[in-house]
Amino acid sequence: YYQAMQIGILETVGLDWRLIDDYPQRIKSVTPEQVRAVARKYLTDEQLTVAELVPLPLPGAARAGERSVVEARHDG
């Protein structure tokens, strides 16, 4: 099962499934400097995405007579 999943992942991203045998060695050959270079290139303020996650109230926590956001969304 796992081998089929790995092959599927490679094919999904456009890579030849035959790369599966070379993958572990290729990963091991990546140097810390290569990782830093990629981080400097792609992890920049210009490409930063910020998300604010606000938890929904627990069911039953709404004030009397009010519906929770979850209840309102399920009413459609």
| pLDDT values of the chain reduced to their tens digit, one per residue, 76 residues | 889 999 999 999 998 988 888 888 989 999 999 999 999 999 999 999 999 999 988 877 656 556 655 556 656 5
Q: What angle do CA 31, 37, 38 make, to 5 degrees?
A: 95
Please tell me the predicted confidence (pLDDT) of residue 71: 59
* Contact in structure between 25 and 16 (CB atoms under 8 Å): no
Alpha-carbon dihedral of residues 65, 68, 74, 76, nearest 10 degrees?
70
CB 69 within 8 A of CB 56: yes
Q: Report H helices in 17-61.
A: 23-28, 32-42
Whether the predicted model's global pTM rises above the 0.75 cut: no
